[in-house]
Structure 1
Amino acid sequence: MNRAVRAAETWNAASTWRAWAATEGGDLRGPLDVAVAAAVVLDARNTVIGWSPAAAELLGYPPDEIVGRSAEVFLSGPGPVPEGTPAATGHETRLARHRDGHSIPVETAVCDLAGGGTAARILILAESERLRLWESRLAMLDGLATQSPIGLAIYDTDLRLTWANAASGAEIGRPFEEYRGMHPDELYPDGTLVTEGYPGTLDSVMRQVLETGAPVIDAHFLGQVPSDPGRDHLWSCSYYRLQDAEGRVLGLCEDAFDITERHEAQSRLALLVEAGRSVGTSLDAVVTARELAGVAVPGFASTVEVDLAPWVLQGGEPADGWGQRSGFLRVTQAAGGAARRVVEFPPGSPQLRSLSSGGRVVVDNVLVVPLRVGDVLLGLVTFTRTGQGAVFDNGEVALADELVARAAVCIDNARRFTREHAAALTLQRDLLPQHLPRHSAVEFAHRYLPTDDVTGVGGDWFDVIPLSGARVGLVVGDVVGHGLTAAATMGRLRTTVEALAKLDMTPDELLTRLDDLVVSAPDPELAEAGDRRPGAASGTPVTGGPHPDVATGATCLYAVYDPVSGRCTTARAGHMPPAVVRTGGPCLFPELPPGPPLGLGGLPFEATDLDLPAGSLLALYTDGLVESRSRDIDEGLEILGRVLADHRDLPLEELCDRVVGTLLPGGTTVDDTALLLVRTRELDAEQVAVWELAAEAVAAGRARELVTGQLGAWDLDALAFETELVVSELVTNAVRYAEGPLQIRLIRDRTLLCEVADTGHTSPHLRYSTAEDEGGRGLFIVAQLVQRWGTRYSRSGKTIWTEQAFPDG
């Protein structure tokens, strides 16, 4: 140890002893110091000729009892050395006898005197225990100076370095004499204090400590040291002022502990925490890749490239024809930069090596980690660093593995969601009418807003169904619940309504048949024992009917509009009434018989006729449009009526947007919402021809004459032959099998419609006649001549109708 270190050690020891002396009477001297130890002056015969007060205190003899007596009175030969006692260093362990007779282990040192006087030597005594404590403290000071990992340094009042221990010197990497006397900012010129609340430089902090005397504890300092250039280190630094016994300021002491590794470990943990919070917030693979790059850049890497297999973004599975060298889709590069382009890795590239080996590859400043879930490779993630210290160490490679593993799970979830969402959208396209056919009877527009943003489907539906006689069926319905279950139920109900409507049922009859579909009818055996299907709870009721899992509580409104009469027949099953705006009138909500929701069973449905002249506006909707948490239904209906009345002349598409924008600002809804706006039309009188005929044998010939004449007036002579045959057969059947007058009606719409009505309720059936049959071929011939034909019933009888395409198509 050189003199500078020893001098500084003495200074530091003095400072330390000042603290220890608080428990030892304020004396900073060592136990064998002649000024504080028990001192005995002996002559040449070892006779006591001098006795210090400390000796009297230690051994109990006053001077007048011991002076003149031999030293053997209080001091025997060498005593036992306690276990662990270090080897003697200029003193020996002996036993001293106290005046009261008990023995005291002491350390003795003898100093011979020269000069020829009576005094021959001085004997110094100190308690062995006190001396060992003193020596252990000195050893501790020596350990701080030479072995402690904590860097210790002492600066004078001018902030010049006067002493540094071995740990502090190792950081500098030069002999102490070369940097002794330097200021802290000269030793660490580019460093800065990163702890908030302190000045930015060491010089400022240390001057603050000297001026105020208030210590600074655990201030974090970031900088570089000559022994490790190019890498930032972080230290936890503390500073406290040094003073002598009289309180004069001597300087300050710095202790600094390098916490770089701990800080890096905490930073990695913080990065994983941030990744857990920020990566995977969206079920979108591209967004997840961008989030991974945003977390890793710039703290972990300079750039991050995420390359995904094309089928991942499509929500598919690994294709048989896809190879790892077929090209990846790069969806992100660096933080926030997003682009999609196909990349192919050149031979020898780290990415291609990773694909070949199936594992990670580290090449200088590039780290490639496979993006894998189980045995399925989703893509690659490439981390790249620039600048000095760009090599990835083992801890950073493990961190990259963890980041990529978490991102892989999120990307795989996004892939699965994309697949399921595509299936849900396909279901929606199949369940809801996406392209409704135009119709002569009405002009319409519609909107559908599902609550379930994930699947994009719900339980509300609407439909526009072409019917015979140029009529149109208008439907809106609402199934309790949301998501795919409600959507599947809605799809079955919509399909059933469409099928029943094609049978030309009246609205009340159609709702009755629909109610039969969803009404609960427990099977007697299952009702007694409960549902025994796997996963069913005990006592679960089983719904009967063709679709036993259809939920009850659905509502529906069905209306049939006839453009010939301008009349709309409406019935509802627990649904809200339509909004009606007639030309020049206010918006009304007709009082229709409510009817029970579907599935309750046993209660009737009633139909009501509404007169809707041409140009009338009809709005069919579900309760999600008018009801919300911030308003009740009555307020919503009032707003709907006001919007429809004030903007009745707008095109229906614009009016739909206006209604939805007013009642559902921002497109947000707490319930599925369906809206169908209809503007009525009427057929011109010139498009309809009606004749009343008596049910007699000559009726068929008369009907042929009337139809032929009307077709000539309409310039449809090309259809005369087929139409004559059709009308002749239908009238003949009516005369033969029905009673009362007959009505014949021709309608020139998008097709030629021919109707024959009678008072009978028996419908003819199409059949194949054998060679021996004398009749039964007429209806078969009719079916070959027309596009469609059918029968609809009314209270007064039935109507058989046919539909023929025009010659020009």
Structure 2
Amino acid sequence: MGATPWSRAFGGEQTPAAPQRPWPATLTVGTDGRITSWSRGAQALFGLSAGRACGRRMRTLMVRPEDRASLDELLGTVLAGRSWSGSLPLLDADGLVHPVECGWQPIQDRRGRPGALIVVTDRVGQSVPAARPAPLGTAEAALAAIGQFQEHAASVAMMRRVQLLTEANTMIGTTLDMAHTAQELLNVAVPRFADTASVVLMESVVDEFELPPPWLEGDEIRVRRVAVKAQDPALEAMLPEDATVLHAPNTVFGQVLRTGRPRTLSSLDLAAAQKLWPGMDPSPAPHLVGNCMLVVPLVARGAVLGIAMFARGSDRRPFSGGEAVLGEEFAARAALCVDNARLYSHERNTALMLQRALLPADSGDHTGVDVAHRYLPASDLTGVGGDWYDVIGLRGGRVAMVVGDVMGHGIRAAAVMGQLRTATRTLAALDLQPAEVLRNLDELADGLGDGEILFATCLVAVYDPATRICRIARAGHIPPLMVTPDGETTIIDLPPGVPLGVGGHTFESKDIEFEDESLLVLCTDGLVESRAPGRDIDDGMQDLVREIKDATLPLEAIADTVISGLRGDRTMDDAALVIARVRGIPSTATAQWTVEPELPAVARARKNVRSTLHGWGLSQLEETAELLASELVTNALLYTNGPISVRLLRDNALLCEVYDTSDETPQLRAADQDDDGGRGLHLVKALSQRWGTRRTSGGKSVWFELALP
């Protein structure tokens, strides 16, 4: 390069001083040469707003064409990790050249990418080492040199503070965790800004995610120490994290918490240091004798969330006014990030409480089915999702098992999950087939989005212990597993269906016969879907298959094994797991027969009921059961020309079911005094513990239950 200001920038001769007042301005430049930040000082100095400057390349916006190659070389030097300072000719908004003094520092953004921080003043002068004597007397020359040195030192100190603040802006608040944010603040501050630092937050912020009241009452203020960092390991050990600390209102810490105003203490003596942490044993006070201290509040939304304490040893100079302002800037940045984390934690905690309230507390006791279930929320970084499960006891000893996943996270997903779970439970209780349950849910989902598109996956399985058949249907959900007692595991092949909310599609059920003591495993994709490169959900399903090594173990132990084996890297989504061990009702506890649709069918039904109950030792129920069974068979004769089946099941109660080929459901109706009929169902309702109807693939079933004696 020729003898231009750019060549002198790399070690050549500096231009003479211009008698102008320094005016600091800052900007940052990324690896591509584009301006990424532009301070108000830069706006005033160059006449360009941040909106016009940010995103533009510095070489085309601020440098003459003949100097652009030199700028590229300088930027490359700084991006490689070297600092530089000197004078440069830069263009203002009108294209006029301004000789300015610049300090260039290498920095990194939040993602670790290199960049350059540039601090500019509108005064160009000689560097102190290269200063030439002015044509003044000896005393005047000495004073001028001292003044120039002081100005240079102040400029360097200012540049270091700006660099530290820039790092704070990129390094503080990388997560939505309050304690981690506080630790990031201390990592920036120690050791360059202070030797010791700590952050305490009000207990209401940490425990309840609530803002503290604008006024603090009582004789003590309770705070939680969430982060500590010290050059002295012994001192750091005396200030344990996650410790509750009580501050009296008249102490320095108490005053800052009450007033929201910072305090600066210089050269602490032992008595003053002991007043900061009264009653602590061992006390950190002796380690802080001679220290200067800066205590600044963390303020957000007009409330004091906590305080940050910075201390310097006696071998360092006290905090200057500019450094006190820098400490307040640190605290302001940290307070904003802590408040964001608090709001996130509050919403997540609310959604999690809502979701847990909507999930079943207990699966209950069911005929032929034992169940273990788990729900695991997503990691803190993601939030609560919309996964759910349910286990529903149905008539005839049947059990419905459901898992589902509302797409999305947060309170809305949890609320929609609750609506779908309630609807699923209601539809299943109506004895609808699994495919019919999904069809109705699909229609319901279309109206739950409040104008937004809503999708959810779901799987419904209904197990009948009398037949050992499980009828399953799914809506875009991952398939279930069947594990036989000898450990053979099968991913059940089912028609996939489409997610709820898509609409316009049908759902199909499939019947699967289970051996006694087999396992049915249902889960959501959060358990098997991995974010690891090169892995998909099929790999996760195979992992699930491998985790269930012994189907004979207790269900709770199997569930724990599955969770511990699969959940490691799969915490970005919530997950639900249901494991059911199924068995049929023994043949000695069931009886079934079929009769033709003729009048003698009633007498035969009464006879068979009486003999069956006598054999089961339930003679006390014979009279009532005979009467009610005959009423149901008589009712069936009115509606069908096909065969009529009667089934008795003895379990926790006595169940009697009458099947016919008609899909017309009998209704309770008021009978007039002169009517010959119409009272049978009223009799069934009055004498049974429960009764009802349900549709079947071949017609309907009318049933009643009697409590066992």
TM-score bin, normalised by smaller chain: 0.5 to 0.7
Alpha-carbon distance between aligned partners in 1 of 2:265 and 2:189, rounded to the nearest angstrom? 18
Partner of 1:464: 391
**Partner letter of residue 222 of structure 2?**
F
1:794 aligns with one of 671, 676, 696: 696
Corresponding position: 1:514 with 2:514: no
Per the TM alignment, residue 316 of structure 1 is displaced from its structure 2 partner at its CA by 2.2
Corresponding position: 1:327 with 2:254: no
Partner of 1:272: 165
2:469 aligns with one of 560, 567, 580: 567
Corresponding position: 1:285 with 2:172: no
Per the TM alignment, residue 286 of structure 1 is displaced from its structure 2 partner at its CA by 3.3
Corresponding position: 1:149 with 2:150: no
Per the TM alignment, residue 555 of structure 1 is displaced from its structure 2 partner at its CA by 4.2
Other structure's SS at 2:693 match: strand
- Contact in 2 for aligned 1:582/1:617 (Cα 8 Å): yes
Per the TM alignment, residue 474 of structure 1 is displaced from its structure 2 partner at its CA by 2.9
Structure-to-structure mapping, 1:34-433, within 5 angstroms: 139=135, 142=138, 146-150=142-146, 261-262=154-155, 264-297=157-190, 299-301=192-194, 303-304=196-197, 306-313=199-206, 314-318=208-212, 323=217, 325=219, 327-332=221-226, 334-335=228-229, 337-340=239-242, 342-346=244-248, 348-354=250-256, 357-364=259-266, 365-384=292-311, 387=314, 392-433=319-360
Other structure's SS at 2:700 match: strand
- Considering only aligned residues, what root-mean-square deviation do their CA atoms show, in Å? 4.3
Other structure's SS at 1:754 match: strand
Per the TM alignment, residue 419 of structure 1 is displaced from its structure 2 partner at its CA by 1.0
2:534 aligns with one of 624, 630, 635: 630
Partner of 1:21: none
Partner of 2:583: 681
Other structure's SS at 2:424 match: helix
Other structure's SS at 1:501 match: helix
Partner of 1:746: 648
Other structure's SS at 2:180 match: helix
**Partner letter of residue 202 of structure 2?**
A
**Partner letter of residue 330 of structure 1?**
R
Per the TM alignment, residue 612 of structure 1 is displaced from its structure 2 partner at its CA by 1.2
**Partner letter of residue 667 of structure 1?**
D
- Contact in 2 for aligned 1:286/1:331 (Cα 8 Å): no
- Contact in 2 for aligned 1:311/1:319 (Cα 8 Å): no
Structure-to-structure mapping, 1:522-533, within 5 angstroms: none
Structure-to-structure mapping, 1:446-465, within 5 angstroms: 446=373, 453-465=380-392
Per the TM alignment, residue 504 of structure 1 is displaced from its structure 2 partner at its CA by 0.9
Which structure has the larger Rg? 1
Question: Aligned pair in 2 of structure 1 residues 685, 269: CA closer, same or farther (>3 Å)?
Answer: same
**Partner letter of residue 392 of structure 2?**
I
Per the TM alignment, residue 420 of structure 1 is displaced from its structure 2 partner at its CA by 0.5
Other structure's SS at 1:800 match: strand
- Contact in 2 for aligned 1:373/1:408 (Cα 8 Å): yes
Alpha-carbon distance between aligned partners in 2 of 1:292 and 1:641, rounded to the nearest angstrom? 45
Other structure's SS at 2:364 match: coil
**Partner letter of residue 209 of structure 2?**
G
Question: Aligned pair in 2 of structure 1 residues 137, 502: CA closer, same or farther (>3 Å)?
Answer: closer
Per the TM alignment, residue 414 of structure 1 is displaced from its structure 2 partner at its CA by 2.0
Query: Tell me, which stretches of 5 or more residues in structure 2 are unaligned?
Result: 1-131, 230-235, 267-291
Alpha-carbon distance between aligned partners in 2 of 1:426 and 1:137, rounded to the nearest angstrom? 75
Q: What are the superposed Cα offsets for residues 65-95 of structure 1, whole Å, 9 maximum, x if unpaired?
A: xxxxxxxxxxxxxxxxxxxxxxxxxxxxxxx
Q: What are the superposed Cα offsets for residues 330-367 of structure 1, whole Å, 9 maximum, x if unpaired?
A: 32474264444554443632344445655334454454
**Partner letter of residue 558 of structure 1?**
V
Question: Aligned pair in 2 of structure 1 residues 784, 403: CA closer, same or farther (>3 Å)?
Answer: farther
Query: Tell me, which stretches of 5 or more residues in structure 1 are unaligned?
Result: 1-135, 151-166, 168-235, 237-255, 519-542
Per the TM alignment, residue 499 of structure 1 is displaced from its structure 2 partner at its CA by 2.1
2:432 aligns with one of 499, 505, 509: 505
Per the TM alignment, residue 437 of structure 1 is displaced from its structure 2 partner at its CA by 2.8
Question: Aligned pair in 2 of structure 1 residues 789, 453: CA closer, same or farther (>3 Å)?
Answer: farther
Question: Aligned pair in 2 of structure 1 residues 768, 265: CA closer, same or farther (>3 Å)?
Answer: farther
Larger RCO, structure (CA 8 Å, separation 6 or more): 2
**Partner letter of residue 142 of structure 1?**
T
Alpha-carbon distance between aligned partners in 2 of 1:352 and 1:800, rounded to the nearest angstrom? 73
- Contact in 1 for aligned 2:201/2:223 (Cα 8 Å): yes
Alpha-carbon distance between aligned partners in 2 of 1:353 and 1:413, rounded to the nearest angstrom? 25
Per the TM alignment, residue 678 of structure 1 is displaced from its structure 2 partner at its CA by 3.2
**Partner letter of residue 678 of structure 1?**
A
Structure-to-structure mapping, 1:753-768, within 5 angstroms: 753-766=655-668
- Contact in 1 for aligned 2:199/2:228 (Cα 8 Å): no
2:522 aligns with one of 616, 620, 627: 620
**Partner letter of residue 695 of structure 2?**
Y
Question: Aligned pair in 2 of structure 1 residues 393, 487: CA closer, same or farther (>3 Å)?
Answer: same
Question: Aligned pair in 2 of structure 1 residues 352, 508: CA closer, same or farther (>3 Å)?
Answer: closer
- Contact in 2 for aligned 1:622/1:675 (Cα 8 Å): yes
- Contact in 1 for aligned 2:691/2:703 (Cα 8 Å): yes
**So what's the TM-score if we normalise by structure 1?**
0.57
**Partner letter of residue 612 of structure 1?**
F
The range that moved more, 434-443 or 398-407, is 434-443
Percent of counterpart pairs with the same letter?
43
Alpha-carbon distance between aligned partners in 2 of 1:491 and 1:257, rounded to the nearest angstrom? 68
Per the TM alignment, residue 395 of structure 1 is displaced from its structure 2 partner at its CA by 2.6
Question: Aligned pair in 2 of structure 1 residues 377, 460: CA closer, same or farther (>3 Å)?
Answer: closer
Other structure's SS at 1:667 match: coil
- Contact in 2 for aligned 1:567/1:612 (Cα 8 Å): yes
- Contact in 1 for aligned 2:348/2:384 (Cα 8 Å): no
**Partner letter of residue 363 of structure 2?**
L
Question: Aligned pair in 2 of structure 1 residues 425, 785: CA closer, same or farther (>3 Å)?
Answer: farther
Per the TM alignment, residue 450 of structure 1 is displaced from its structure 2 partner at its CA by 6.3
Alpha-carbon distance between aligned partners in 2 of 1:749 and 1:562, rounded to the nearest angstrom? 13
Alpha-carbon distance between aligned partners in 1 of 2:257 and 2:561, rounded to the nearest angstrom? 55
Other structure's SS at 2:336 match: helix
Structure-to-structure mapping, 1:547-566, within 5 angstroms: 549=451, 551=453, 554-566=456-468
1:607 aligns with one of 509, 523, 540: 509
Alpha-carbon distance between aligned partners in 2 of 1:710 and 1:699, rounded to the nearest angstrom? 16
- Contact in 1 for aligned 2:215/2:258 (Cα 8 Å): no
Q: What are the superposed Cα offsets for residues 163-199 of structure 1, whole Å, 9 maximum, x if unpaired?
A: xxxx9xxxxxxxxxxxxxxxxxxxxxxxxxxxxxxxx
**Partner letter of residue 329 of structure 1?**
V
Other structure's SS at 1:406 match: helix
Other structure's SS at 1:149 match: helix
Per the TM alignment, residue 794 of structure 1 is displaced from its structure 2 partner at its CA by 1.7
Per the TM alignment, residue 791 of structure 1 is displaced from its structure 2 partner at its CA by 1.0
Q: What are the superposed Cα offsets for residues 18-76 of structure 1, whole Å, 9 maximum, x if unpaired?
A: xxxxxxxxxxxxxxxxxxxxxxxxxxxxxxxxxxxxxxxxxxxxxxxxxxxxxxxxxxx
- Contact in 1 for aligned 2:226/2:243 (Cα 8 Å): no
Other structure's SS at 1:744 match: strand
Alpha-carbon distance between aligned partners in 2 of 1:322 and 1:702, rounded to the nearest angstrom? 82
Question: Aligned pair in 2 of structure 1 residues 384, 704: CA closer, same or farther (>3 Å)?
Answer: farther
Question: Aligned pair in 2 of structure 1 residues 668, 596: CA closer, same or farther (>3 Å)?
Answer: closer
Question: Aligned pair in 2 of structure 1 residues 680, 265: CA closer, same or farther (>3 Å)?
Answer: same
Question: Aligned pair in 2 of structure 1 residues 594, 324: CA closer, same or farther (>3 Å)?
Answer: same
**Partner letter of residue 663 of structure 2?**
H
Alpha-carbon distance between aligned partners in 2 of 1:634 and 1:410, rounded to the nearest angstrom? 39
Tell me the number of residue pairs that the alignment of Structure 1 and Structure 2 aligns.
542
